[in-house]
Chains A and B, each alone.
Chain A
Amino acid sequence: MKYVLLICDDETNPPTNEELAADPVHQTWVADLERRGAKLGGERLRPVVDATTVRVRDGETLVSDGPFAETKDFVGGIVIVECANLDEAIEIAAGHPYARRGGVEIRPVWE
């Protein structure tokens, strides 16, 4: 079994990466993950203002600003890709079957 954890909040006053690393609760969580050896991979995502959504309808690639916000849809998986730029990421996203079923939200990793 593998799980993807999507860490969510409402993005008001989000901590910086440094503040998060200094947070004792977060430190405990990280230590726990390490003890269990559970972490396969994960990244912090930039806020939703940096999101781009790609849909393919009738063979046409539709790019829109913002997150994929329709509430009947939930995130069903994540794939971490290394790309030259957003256009390449859009190309990859558009090739995924879920771009036709629903949508693929592209979120840059916060590095």
Chain B
Amino acid sequence: MTAPHDVRTAVDAAYRDEWGQVVATLIGLTGDWDLAEDCAQDAFAAAVATWPRDGVPHRPGAWLTTTARNRATDRLRRDAAGAAKLRQLAVLARTPDEPPMEEIPDERLRLIFTCCHPALPFPARVALTLRTLAGLTTAEIARAFLTAEPAMAQRLVRAKRKIQEAGIPYRVPPAELLPQRLAAVLAVLYLIFNEGYDEEGVRRALTAEAIRLTRVLVRLMPHEPEPRGLLALMLLHEARRTTRTEDGVLVTLENQDRSRWDRSLIDEGVETLDQALAMRRTGPYQVQAAIAACHATAPDAASTDWPRIATLYTELARLAPSPVVDLNRAVAVAMADGIPAGLALVDELASAGRLDDYYLMPATRADLLRRAGRSAEAKTAYEEALRLAPTEAERRYLSERLRNL
């Protein structure tokens, strides 16, 4: 007899750690995503029912997988069309008390590549990853993305149907497809992270989920540098999250209280980045993490290594060209080589017109003009930024700047 509280903790921990693997294994065995989810659910219900009486099994993951597998066998037996699937399963069925002798292979890598297949709509990739791999409920995902639950449920149903009907393979892509497909997986994980980053409550949990899933990916693909790059980037951002606003006002990097940055996250981020860089295959996440590391390891704003950051942005612009990257590079150049050099780059970008309506464009110009002492022009730019700023915290920050000109 185990104390109910301990069992609850054990089930919760197993849910967090094993859900994705149980689902992934069942999909691998049956090819049926709904059946896999249902049987995984049943296995966790069985754990809640029997673990208090029988104790928490030595290997909860193996117990859950075996139980889910047996559930699938039962269900398929009742279903005539399930006969073929059943034959594959029969060899593997056993009772949960006899732990499987073989190591259950980790199927989660196949699952994540399938969830993030480019033939699926991007929002569906995100939802499917959170549902099947992270084990969030449809209701939780709907709340996190401010969507009605039936709409989210339908998105998941359609995605699973497309996987089945369009013949999206359940596999880790072969080497020639890997760079592109891995980039798609990382994009999904980074989006999940960013969705939760500046939030509280249910949305905030997305950031933790993204870090957890990226850790799993790093473990499953130890020889790929970019998952490590992304993990490092997430950890370095997360380290300074709590200092990014104060009383609902945005606090810029320069003015953040560095003593409140999370040292252990920064250390882990830097170490993870070093492991990635040691593989000597650069990529956009590693470069972004390197930039974040420059900021996170500078003892104060004045000692930031701006020339190095400018070089890294040049590298990033080569690997993943975007006007936003160019804008960031302009700031780094301004800080490294002087405001006029940076302003010239910003004006060049402005005349190209690709960042119209992007509030950081006038906000950046305003900030550089303010530093150059050109208050009148700075005022106009701040006012324009204020009109375009998407969040209250940003608007408050800009208003304050405007007042202090």
Q: Nearest Cβ distance between residue A39 and chain B, in whole angstroms?
A: 25
- Which single residue of chain B is at the shortest CB-CB distance from A89? B167
| B residues less than 8 Å from A61 (CB atoms) | 180
Q: A49-B158, A49-B162, A50-B162 are in contact. Are A66 and B121 (CB under 8 A)?
A: yes
Please give me the residue from chain A that is nearest to B117 by CB atom. A86
**Contact of A27 with B by CB under 8 A:** no
Q: Contact between A87 and B165 (Cβ–Cβ < 8 Å)?
A: no
Name B123's closest neighbour in chain A (CB-CB).
A65
Q: Which of A61, A84, A85: most chain B CB closer than 10 A? A: A85
Determine the chain B residues whose CB is within 8 A of the CB of A89 once the complex forms.
167
Query: With the chains together, A65 CA to B180 CA distance in Å?
Result: 15
> Are A86 and B119 within 8 A (Cβ)?
yes
- Residue interface bits A28-54, CB-to-B below 8 A is 1, else 0: 000000000000000000100110100
State A66–B177 Cα separation when bound (angstroms).
20
- Find out whether the CB atom of A86 lies under 8 angstroms from the CB atom of B158: no
Residue contact B177 to A87, C-beta cutoff 8 Å: yes
Report yes or no: B165 in contact with A46, Cβ–Cβ below 8 A. yes
B248 at the interface (CB under 8 A from A): no
Number of interface residues, chain A, beta carbon within 8 A: 18
Q: B118 touches which one: A65, A83, A108 (CB < 8 A)?
A: A65
Name which residue of chain A comes closest to B122, CB basis. Answer: A65
Q: Is the CB of B119 within 8 A of A63?
A: yes
Determine the distance from Cα of A90 to Cα of B165 in the docked complex, in whole angstroms: 15
A17 touches B (CB below 8 Å): no
**Interface check B93, CB cutoff 8 A:** no
A64 touches B118 (CB 8 A): yes
* Shortest distance from the beta carbon of A38 to any chain B beta carbon, whole Å: 29
Determine the chain A residues whose CB is within 8 A of the CB of B161 once the complex forms. 50
Complex: how many Å from CA A13 to CA B168? 26
Instruction: Find out whether the CB atom of A108 lies under 8 angstroms from the CB atom of B180.
Output: no
A108 touches B169 (CB 8 A): no
When the two chains form their complex, are residues B169 and A86 in contact, meaning their CB atoms are under 8 A apart?
A: yes
Q: Does B80 contact A (CB under 8 A)?
A: no
Q: How far is the CA of A49 from the CA of B111 in the complex (A)?
A: 21
B-side binding surface: helix, strand, loop or mixed? loop
Docked CA distance A87–B119 (Å): 9
| Chain B residue at minimal CB-CB distance from A63 | B118
Give the Cβ gap from A103 to chain B, nearest Cβ, in Å.
14
Interface string of B118-131 (1 = CB under 8 A from A): 11111010000000
B173: CB under 8 A from chain A? yes
Q: Which residues from A are CB-within-8-Å of B169?
A: 84-87
CB distance from B175 to the nearest CB of A (A): 13
Whether B166 is near chain A, meaning CB under 8 Å from some CB there, is: yes
A12 to B45, CA, bound (A): 40
What CA separation (Å) do A98 and B68 show in the bound complex?
47
Bound CA–CA A46/B167 (angstroms): 12
A50 to B162, CA, bound (A): 6
A65 to B165 Cα, complex, angstroms: 14
Give A101 Cβ to nearest chain B Cβ, in Å.
21
Please tell me if the beta carbons of B121 and A108 are within 8 angstroms of each other in the complex. no
Nearest chain A CB to B300's CB is how many angstroms away? 43
Complex Cα–Cα for A52 and B168 (A): 10
Find out whether the CB atom of B119 lies under 8 angstroms from the CB atom of A65.
yes
Q: Are B158 and A108 interface neighbours, CB within 8 A? A: no
Q: Which residues of A contact B162 (CB under 8 A)?
A: 49-50
Chain A residues near B167: list those with CB within 8 A: 83, 85-86, 89, 108
Chain B 144-187 interface mask (CB, 8 Å, partner A; 1/0): 00000000000000100110011111000100010010000000
Known A-B contacts A61-B180, A87-B173, A87-B177; A52 and B166 likewise in contact (beta carbons under 8 Å) = yes
CB of A56, distance to nearest CB on chain B (Å) = 12
Interface centre among A63, A83, A106 (most CB of B within 10 A): A63
- A-B CB contact pairs (8 Å), 26 listed: A46-B165, A49-B158, A49-B162, A50-B166, A52-B119, A61-B180, A63-B118, A63-B119, A65-B118, A65-B119, A66-B121, A83-B167, A85-B168, A85-B169, A86-B117, A86-B166, A86-B167, A86-B168, A87-B169, A87-B173, A87-B177, A89-B167, A90-B119, A106-B166, A108-B165, A108-B166
For the complex of A and B, 10 pairs with smallest distance between CB atoms = A85-B169, A63-B118, A52-B119, A65-B121, A85-B167, A86-B167, A86-B168, A50-B166, A108-B166, A86-B166
